[in-house]
Chains A and B, each alone.
Chain A
Amino acid sequence: MAAVDIPISGAHAADTHDDPDASYLKAGRGIGSWLTTLDHKRIGLMYLTMVCLAFFTGGIFALLIRLELFSRGRTIMDAETYNRFFTLHGAIMVFLFIIPSVPAALGNFFLPIMIGAKDVAFPRLNLFSYYIYLLGAAVALLSIIMGSVDTGWTFYTPYSVQTQNSVISMTLGAFILGFSSILTGLNFLVTVHTMRAPGCTWSRMPLFVWGMYATALIQVLATPVLAITLLLLCAERFFGIGIFDPKLGGDPVLFQHFFWFYSHPAVYIMIVPGMAITSELIATFSRRAIFGQFAIAMSSISLAVLGFLVWGHHLFAAGMSEYATMLFSALTFLVAIPSGVKVFNWTATIYKGSILWASPMLYAMAFIFLFTIGGLTGLFLGTLNVDIHLTDTYFVVAHFHYVMMGGTVIAFVGGLLYWWPKMTGKMHDEVKAKIGFVFVFVGFNTVFIPQFIMGSRGMPRRYYDYLPQYEIFHRISTVGSWILGTGLLITGYTLLEALWRGKRAPRNPWGSAGYEWMTDTPPCLANFHKTPVFTRGPYDYHLATPEELATGWDEVEQDGKKG
C-alpha cells in the first residue's frame, strides 16, 4: 500500500506522536497509554472489557435466581436476597451490559473503520463517555453495599418510593449511565454524517453502520426522558414532591408512562444493533450481497421511529382509557412489519449463496431462529385480550429473553467471534467455538421454552416461590441455565485462549468483502494507511477482486514489510 497519508479527521493524529502506520495495539505502551487514549479502537476494547464483566456479573445473578427456583420453599437464599438478586440481574444486564454492549464496544471499534474514517468525530468526548460509564457503574453498584435495591429494574412507584432500600444510588447510576449513552449516540450521528470516506455513499454504507445510526438516534432522543424520570423519582424520595405517590396526590401510573417512554425505545437500542451484526454475518458467510439492502436499512430506521410510539403496550393491564389501549395495540402490531422484512431478507440472502458454516454464521442463524420465536410470541402480547391473560407472567419473561438474549446477546457473541481476529490479530479455535455454540443454543432453549409454558398456564413473574404445579417447569429451566452457562464459559475461554495461543490472523480470515477487512489485522492507528476510496459496496462480492476476498496472507506482508 502506498505510504501517502491524507488525514481526513486529523483530530487525534495531531494529538499523538505515535506512528499512524503501526498497529493500534503497539502504538503506545503501558496502562497509561490505554487510560488516556483517544483511539476509538482502544476505547472500544476498554468498553468491551467492562461490558463483558457486567455480563458475567449479571449472569452469576441469573444462575443464582434459577438455582433458588429449582425447588419450592427456600433453596439457597431468603426472600429479600432473591428480590435484590433479580433486581440486580435486570439492572446490570440492561443498563451496564446490553445497552452499551454492541454500540459502545463493537460500534466504537468498527463504525469508523467501516466508513473509512480515522476516528469518531469527537474522540475526547468518546473517552469522556467511557469514564462516565465507569462512574455510573460505580454509583449503581454502590447500591449493593448500601443495602441493595429490591424494586425490580423498572423501579415502579409507589413501591420504589416506599421501600427502605437504596433506590437512589441505583437510579442515580442509571441516570449517569444515560449520559454515556447519549454522548456515544451523538458521536456516532456526527461521525456518520461528516466523516464517511470518498465513495462510502449512504446507499453503500454498511448495514452495521445503518443499525448503529438508527440506535444512536434513539439514544439521543429517548435517554433524556429516562434521566428526567429517574431524577423525579429521586426528588420524590428526598423531598416528597408528590408526582408519583398517591398519598401526596401523585399518580403512580404516570411513572410507568414516563419510564416506558424511554425503556420501550431502549428495547430497540438493544435489538437493532443485534440485527445490524446479523446482517453483516449473513452477507459475509453467504458470500452474497444482502437481499433488499435498502429495505433492511430503512427497517432499522422505521423500528427506531415506531419504537417511540408503542410504550403504552406495557400498561394494558395497568389502567388506560380504552382509546389509548386501542391505539397502542394497533401501533404495536406495526412493529412486526419491519421485523418481518429483516427476517425475510436474511433468509432470501442465504438462498443461492455459498454458505460457510463458521461459528459466527451459526450464531447468525441462531439469531434468526430465536428472534423469530421472540417476535412471533410478541403477537400474543400485542393482541389485547390475550395479553391480559399473559402479561406479568413468565410468558413475558420468556418473550423478552428470546428477543434480548436470543437476539442481541447471540448476535453480540457472533460479532465477537467474527471480529475477534480483526480486533486482536489472533484466530480463535473454531472447534471449541462451535462446541460452545451447541451448549449455548441448547441451553438457551431449555431455559426459556418451559417459561413460555408455565407463563401461559398462569405463573406470574418475580415470584420467590410458586405453586406445586409449576415445579417441573422451573426444574427444567434451571437445568437449562447450567447448560447455557457452560456454553458461555466455553465461548469466553475460546476467545481468551486465542489471545495467548491463537495463530496470527491474516487480513481477511473470513473472505469478506466488507470495508473493515480491507485494512491491516489488527488495524493501524489511523485505521487505513491512506484515506480509502470505496469503489464498490461492502457486499458487492461480484465486484470484489480475488485479492480483496483472499483469506490468506497479503503479498506485501509476506515480503516482510510489516515486520
Chain B
Amino acid sequence: MNEPNAATFQLPEQMSTVAPEIDWLYYFIYWLSVVLFVAIVGAMIYFAIKYRERKGHKAEPTGHNLPLEIAWTVAPVFILVFLFHKGFEGYMNLSIAPANSMEIRVNAKQWSWEFVYPNGASSDKLHVPVHKPIKLVMASADVIHSFYAPALRVKRDVVPGMYTTVWFEATHVGKDDIACAEYCGGRSEGPNGTLPYQPSDDPDNPYPPGQMTGHWAMHSMVYVEAQEDFDKFMKSIGDPCESYASQGKACPGTIAAAQGLKLYSTKGCVACHTTTGAKLVGPSWKGIWAHGETTDKGRIVVDENYVRESILDPQAKVVAGYPPTMPTFRGQISDAEIDEIIALIKSLKDEGPAPAQQ
C-alpha cells in the first residue's frame, strides 16, 4: 500500500479529513522527541563513560552558568506554545461540525451501539456516505461509554444524562472499527462465566453474540459507502417513509419530529409554547433551534443539552422576558420522548418546513 492515507507503523489508516493534520502533528512530536531523547540520554551516557571514576581523575567542582540555565528554561516555551497552538487549532476543527452535516443519533448501552438515521431507521453497524460531514449526536442509557473510530481519528465520551457530539467526514470508501474507549464493565457469558469463548475470525464481527459481552466486546463497524450504496442500505433497513406512502400519507420530514408533535399535545407543551412563532407564556419553538438566546444565566445556544435541561430542570436557564413558571417533567418523560421533542424543535428551524400535521 503506497497510498498517502495508508496505515503507518505507528498510526492506523487515515480515513477522515482531520486525520492528515493530526498525523502530521503526531509525527512532528515524535521526531522532536527522538531528537531530544537522543540528545539528552546520549549526552548522559557519553559523559558517564567519559568522566567515569578512575585513578588520577577528579570531579570538577560545579560552577554556575546562569545564561545556560535561563536558556533551557525559556527555549522549551517556544516549542510548547507551538504545540499548544497547533493542537488547539486542530481540536477546534474536531469540535465544530459543518452546518450541512448529516445527523445520526447514537444510542450506547451496555454493551452495544445503535445508530438511528434521519429517516428513523436504525442499525447496529454505522453506515455513512463518503465525502459528507456526519454529525453524531450521542447519548448513553446506562454508564459512560466512549465512541472511538481509530482510522477516523475521532473519540468522544458518551455520557448518560446529556448529549455529546462528534463529527467527521470520510475521505474514501472503506471501513473502520468502532470501539468503546471508556471502561463500562462486562462479563463472560454462560453459567458462572464458563461458556467457552472462541474468538471469531470475521474481522467485522470479532465477538460472536451470546459468547462475550463487555467493554472490549462493544465492537461495531463504520462502513463508508458511495452515496448510491448508502441509499440502497437505507432502503434495505426499511425506510419508514415507504410505509407512509403505502397508506397514502405524506412522509413527514422526520419520523421522530412527527412523534414529537404528538407529544407536544399529549404532554401539554401546547398550553405555553406555539410552533408558529406566536408568543404565549413560554417562547415559541418556531425558529428557536440553534439560536443564541439571552437567559437569566447569560447567553446560551439552544441545542440538545439546553432543551433536555429545560424539560427536566426548567428553572436552570430561563429565556429573558419569560416567567420562571414551567414545571419539571422529570419522571414523566422518557429519554426517547425527549429525543422526539428535540427532533420536533429541530424541524421547526426557520429554514426547514414544519412536519405535516396529522
Known contacts A295-B69, A379-B83, A79 near B33 by CB under 8 Å: no
**Is A202 among interface residues, defined by CB-CB distance under 8 A?**
no
0/1 interface trace, chain B 167-188, chain A, CB 8 Å (1 if under): 0000000000101111111111
0/1 interface trace, chain A 137-169, chain B, CB 8 Å (1 if under): 000000000000011100010110011000000
In the bound complex, do residue A78 and residue B44 qualify as a contact, i.e. CB atoms below 8 Å apart?
no
Known contacts A79-B186, A287-B59, A317-B156, A379 near B29 by CB under 8 Å: yes
Residues of A within 8 A of B207 (CB): 465
Known contacts A289-B62, A391-B155, A458 near B72 by CB under 8 Å: no
Residues of B within 8 A of A345 (CB): 69
Interface set, chain A 69-127, CB cutoff 8 A to B? 72-74, 78-80, 83
In the bound complex, do residue A246 and residue B25 qualify as a contact, i.e. CB atoms below 8 Å apart?
no
Residues of B within 8 A of A152 (CB): 183
In the bound complex, do residue B148 and residue A337 qualify as a contact, i.e. CB atoms below 8 Å apart?
no
Q: Is the interface of B mostly helix, strand, loop or mixed?
A: mixed
0/1 interface trace, chain A 361-399, chain B, CB 8 Å (1 if under): 100010011001100110110111111110111000000
In the bound complex, do residue A456 and residue B11 qualify as a contact, i.e. CB atoms below 8 Å apart?
yes
0/1 interface trace, chain B 191-224, chain A, CB 8 Å (1 if under): 0011011110101001100001011110100000
**Is B102 among interface residues, defined by CB-CB distance under 8 A?**
no
Closest-CB distance, A392 to chain B (whole angstroms): 4
Bound together, the chains give a CA A319 to CA B207 distance in angstroms of 29
Among listed B138-146, B240-248, B253-261, interface-contacting one: B138-146
**Is A231 among interface residues, defined by CB-CB distance under 8 A?**
no
In the bound complex, do residue A352 and residue B60 qualify as a contact, i.e. CB atoms below 8 Å apart?
yes
Output the nearest chain B residue to A346 by Cβ-Cβ distance. Answer: B44
Residues of B within 8 A of A347 (CB): 40, 43-44, 47
Residues of A within 8 A of B156 (CB): 317, 319, 388
**Is A32 among interface residues, defined by CB-CB distance under 8 A?**
no
Bound together, the chains give a CA A468 to CA B207 distance in angstroms of 11
Residues of A within 8 A of B73 (CB): 295, 337, 340-341
The count of residues in chain A whose C-beta lies closer than 8 Å to any C-beta of chain B is 97
Bound together, the chains give a CA A326 to CA B89 distance in angstroms of 10
0/1 interface trace, chain A 457-475, chain B, CB 8 Å (1 if under): 1101111111110000000
Residues of B within 8 A of A458 (CB): 12, 148, 150-151, 177, 179
Bound together, the chains give a CA A253 to CA B186 distance in angstroms of 21
In the bound complex, do residue B51 and residue A355 qualify as a contact, i.e. CB atoms below 8 Å apart?
yes
Known contacts A318-B159, A392-B181, A357 near B94 by CB under 8 Å: no
Output the nearest chain B residue to A456 by Cβ-Cβ distance. Answer: B10
Interface set, chain A 465-488, CB cutoff 8 A to B? 465-468
In the bound complex, do residue A253 and residue B59 qualify as a contact, i.e. CB atoms below 8 Å apart?
no
Bound together, the chains give a CA A322 to CA B95 distance in angstroms of 8
**Is B21 among interface residues, defined by CB-CB distance under 8 A?**
yes
Bound together, the chains give a CA A322 to CA B196 distance in angstroms of 46
Interface set, chain B 45-89, CB cutoff 8 A to A? 45, 47-48, 51-53, 57-62, 65, 68-69, 72-73, 76-77, 80-81, 83-84, 86-89
Bound together, the chains give a CA A354 to CA B30 distance in angstroms of 33
Interface set, chain B 4-62, CB cutoff 8 A to A? 7, 9-12, 18, 21-22, 25-26, 29-30, 32-33, 36-37, 40-41, 43-45, 47-48, 51-53, 57-62
In the bound complex, do residue B80 and residue A334 qualify as a contact, i.e. CB atoms below 8 Å apart?
yes
In the bound complex, do residue B41 and residue A457 qualify as a contact, i.e. CB atoms below 8 Å apart?
no
**Is B312 among interface residues, defined by CB-CB distance under 8 A?**
yes
0/1 interface trace, chain A 204-245, chain B, CB 8 Å (1 if under): 000000000000000000000000000000000000000000
Residues of B within 8 A of A384 (CB): 87-88, 90-91
- Residues in chain B within 8 A of chain A (CB atoms): 7, 9-12, 18, 21-22, 25-26, 29-30, 32-33, 36-37, 40-41, 43-45, 47-48, 51-53, 57-62, 65, 68-69, 72-73, 76-77, 80-81, 83-84, 86-95, 142-144, 146, 148, 150-151, 153-157, 159-162, 164, 177, 179-188, 193-194, 196-199, 201, 203, 206-207, 212, 214-217, 219, 312-313, 330
Q: Which 9 A-B pairs have the closest CB atoms?
A: A246-B161, A458-B150, A385-B90, A383-B87, A384-B91, A463-B216, A376-B33, A289-B62, A354-B59
- Residues in chain A within 8 A of chain B (CB atoms): 72-74, 78-80, 83, 150-152, 156, 158-159, 162-163, 246-247, 249-253, 286-292, 295, 316-319, 322, 325-326, 329-330, 333-334, 336-337, 340-341, 343-357, 361, 365, 368-369, 372-373, 376-377, 379-380, 382-389, 391-393, 453, 456-458, 460-468, 539, 541-542
Can you give 26 contacting A-B residue pairs, CB < 8 Å?
Answer: A73-B197, A79-B214, A151-B183, A156-B183, A159-B143, A247-B160, A249-B330, A250-B161, A252-B159, A295-B73, A329-B88, A337-B76, A337-B80, A341-B72, A348-B65, A355-B51, A357-B52, A383-B86, A386-B90, A388-B156, A391-B155, A462-B215, A465-B207, A465-B216, A468-B199, A541-B61
